[in-house]
Structure 1
Amino acid sequence: MQMYEIIKRPIMTERSYVLNESLNQVAFEVDRRANKIEIKGAVEKIFDVKVKNVNVMNTKGKVKRNRFGMGKRQDWKKAIVTLEEGSEIKVFEE
């Protein structure tokens, strides 16, 4: 897998802002087939930072109702990446 296929997008929520400020952690949506080692390598190469730890969780898609009946959102995988001291990703600026 290419490193740009592994990291899909950063997750920007209120909780991710708090994690970034207090614990130097950044949350990403990643490919469901990626493991911790691949995620760590991709983040280090793309953003040119040192990664201390990677936590991964599989998130189930919610069941939603629409005009055709019940539907389900896609399942996805979230990675919370802890950065080394002195490293930062400028995703949350602006």
Structure 2
Amino acid sequence: MDIANVIVGSVLTEKSERLKAARTYTLRIASVATKIEVRQALKKLYGVDVERVRVFFVRPKRRLLGSGRVMEKRHRWRKAIVTLREGSRALDLASFRTN
């Protein structure tokens, strides 16, 4: 997979903002991306050293319609929780390396 397409964006919630104090960042990633690809993308594009990557799918939000039918309101997506090493600089998703 192309490294530029691994990280889709950041997840902005109260919990993710609270975890930033512990050098832990929450990212939305491509559904076929692996832990190794996430680690390589962060190292190459943002220049940060990653200590730990946790990856999982977020369940879709569903709504029941009449007579047992189900409608998906939000599709499932993949989330990565990344912890940076002690000496690494903070992750800024707005600025990335071009080389």
Tell me, yes or no, whether TM beats 0.5: yes
Partner of 2:85: 84
Q: Residue 53 of structure 1 corresponds to which residue in structure 2?
A: 52
Tell me, in whole angstroms, the C-alpha distance in 2 between the residues paired with 1:65 and 1:7: 32
TM-score normalised according to structure 2 size: 0.80
Specify the code of the residue in structure 2 equivalent to 1:48.
G
Q: Which runs of 5+ in 1 are unaligned?
A: none
Cα RMSD for the two superposed structures: 2.0
| Aligned residue number for residue 97 of structure 2 | none
Deviation of 1:2 after TM superposition, in Å, equals: 1.2
Q: Distance in 2 between matches of 1:70 and 1:25?
A: 35
- C-alpha contact (below 8 Å) 2:16/2:26 kept by paired residues: yes
Q: Which has the larger radius of gyration?
A: 2
Letter in 2 for 1:89: L
With normalisation by structure 1, the TM-score equals 0.83
- Size of the alignment, in residue pairs? 89
C-alpha displacement at 1:25, in angstroms?
A: 0.5
Gap regions ≥5 residues in structure 2: 95-99
Partner residue in 2 for 1:29 = 28
Q: Aligned to 2:4, what secondary structure does the other structure show?
A: helix
* Equivalent AA in structure 2 for residue 90 of structure 1: D
- 2:61 is matched with 62
